[in-house]
């Protein structure tokens, strides 16, 4: 492994890089951009790559990683790769199928981390976002504990080195932790977490159980109209972050990222801009002690208390999940109409 990187130990003995590169993209962004951005990220020093079955870019991400292995930049064991189980594969007998599909697209033998993407089940089938004639999501029921048992089997089979969850709240985590016959507990919980939504209570709970919190949206949430007041402030324009950035001669983005790292959180950052990708990795490589906030971290905590969401102890709200699904269904139907005009 690259000696200049620090790692966070997971409860199963494996190690995860504290800063990861996210690969989710909006529909209007070409898939080829993901390949190039992932290559740039690896060249810049990222060794933790986060993706998911539902992102539909695992083939492109796998191509990027394999190309960097082929040119000698990294070895496979240098890369910590995360994928996620999608909600239409929640029937226990389909959990490994979803993972195997991801592995086939990646041309990998294993993933380093496999997560249950959402604690929400949708109708089984090939449609990623099954909907009825009125455009409403078709949900289904599934036992989270049974899903977790299937995840454990994936680990036993050597298809995933570590297993965890995403977007789980405390109650859902406790369901798994208290499951009779539990063999492997979740090593992490990946949730939206940023200065305005700092997940303090959920972080404290996860730490008490030896579960690493992984933050996505660390530089601010996607500002979809259904979830965010258009008049709400932009995180990177926050005056507290701006003042700290000016003092330490860093960008507000690096200040926000460093804040999470100092809280013991693994952070994911996403960008298709080469300059920003190279800037973001400096957060984990920068050894300048002046970027360590010390008591100044409390001033950032105060920002979170002022503007944080009300559902602080929830991984992600049902409203936000449904909003995400509605947008994806709408986009899929528009693309289908373009390809199959009446």
Average pLDDT, the chain: 84
Q: Report the b/e string of 32-67 with b at 16+ CB within 10 A.
A: eebbebbbbbbbbbbbbbbbbbbbbbbebbbbbbee
Q: What is the mean pLDDT of residues 239-266?
A: 87
In whole angstroms, give the CA distance from residue 118 to residue 30.
25
Spell out the residues 6+ positions from residue 40 whose beta carbon is closer than 8 angstroms to its own: 274, 277, 278
pLDDT at 226: 53
C-alpha pair distances (Å), 150 with each of 119, 122, 145, 147:
15, 17, 9, 5
pLDDT at 285: 58
In whole angstroms, give the CA distance from residue 304 to residue 203.
14
Q: What is the mean pLDDT of residues 270-295?
A: 72
In whole angstroms, give the CA distance from residue 320 to residue 68.
36
pLDDT at 253 over 50: yes
- Which comes out higher in pLDDT, residue 156 or 219? 156
- Which comes out higher in pLDDT, residue 27 or 114? 114
Comparing C-alpha atoms, which of 149, 261, 141 is closest to residue 213? 261
pLDDT at 320: 52
Q: What is the mean pLDDT of residues 248-257?
A: 86
pLDDT at 294: 47
55 is catalytic: yes
Marked catalytic residue, from 53, 55, 114, 196: 55
Spell out the residues 6+ positions from residue 13 whose beta carbon is closer than 8 angstroms to its own: none
Q: What percent of the chain has pLDDT over 90?
A: 65
pLDDT at 194 over 50: yes
pLDDT at 301: 62
Q: What is the mean pLDDT of residues 102-130?
A: 97
- The dihedral over CA atoms of 267, 269, 274, 275, expressed in degrees to the nearest 10, equals -70
Q: What percent of the chain has pLDDT over 70?
A: 77
pLDDT at 18: 96
pLDDT at 200 over 60: yes
In this prediction, residue 36 has a pLDDT band, given cuts at 50, 70 and 90, of: very high
pLDDT at 286: 56
pLDDT at 80 over 80: yes
pLDDT at 9 over 70: yes
């Amino acid at each position: 492994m690259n000696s200049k990187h620090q790692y966070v130990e997971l409860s199963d003995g494996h190690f995860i890089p504290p800063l990861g590169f996210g690969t989710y993209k909006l529909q209007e962004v070409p898939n080829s951009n993901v390949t190039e951005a992932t290559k740039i990220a690896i060249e810049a020093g990222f060794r933790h790559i986060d993706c998911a079955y539902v992102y539909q870019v695992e083939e492109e991400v796998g191509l990027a990683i394999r190309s960097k292995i082929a040119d000698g930049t990294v070895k496979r064991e240098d890369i910590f790769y995360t994928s996620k189980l999608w909600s239409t594969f929640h029937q226990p007998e389909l959990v490994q199928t979803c993972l195997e599909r991801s592995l086939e697209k990646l041309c990998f033998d294993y993933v380093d981390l496999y997560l249950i993407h959402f604690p929400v089940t949708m109708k089984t089938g090939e449609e990623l976002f099954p909907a009825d004639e009125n455009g409403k999501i078709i949900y289904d029921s599934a036992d989270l504990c049974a899903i977790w048992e299937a995840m454990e089997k994936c680990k036993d089979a050597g298809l995933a080195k570590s297993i965890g969850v995403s977007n789980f709240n405390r109650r859902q985590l406790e369901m798994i932790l208290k499951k009779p016959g539990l063999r492997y507990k979740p090593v992490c919980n990946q949730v939206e977490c940023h200065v305005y939504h700092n997940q303090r209570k959920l972080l404290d709970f996860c730490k008490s159980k030896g579960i690493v919190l992984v933050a996505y949206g660390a530089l601010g949430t996607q500002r979809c109209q259904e979830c965010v007041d258009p008049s709400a402030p932009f995180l990177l324009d926050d005056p507290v972050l701006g003042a700290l950035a000016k003092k330490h001669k860093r960008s507000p983005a690096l200040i926000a990222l460093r804040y999470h790292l100092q809280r013991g959180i693994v952070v994911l950052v996403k960008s298709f801009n080469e300059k920003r990708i190279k800037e973001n990795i400096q957060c984990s490589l920068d050894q300048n002690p002046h970027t360590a906030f010390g008591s100044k971290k409390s001033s950032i905590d105060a920002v979170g208390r002022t503007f944080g969401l009300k559902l602080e102890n929830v991984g992600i709200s049902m409203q936000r999940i449904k909003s995400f699904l509605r947008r994806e269904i709408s986009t899929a139907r528009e693309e289908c109409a373009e390809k199959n005009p009446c």
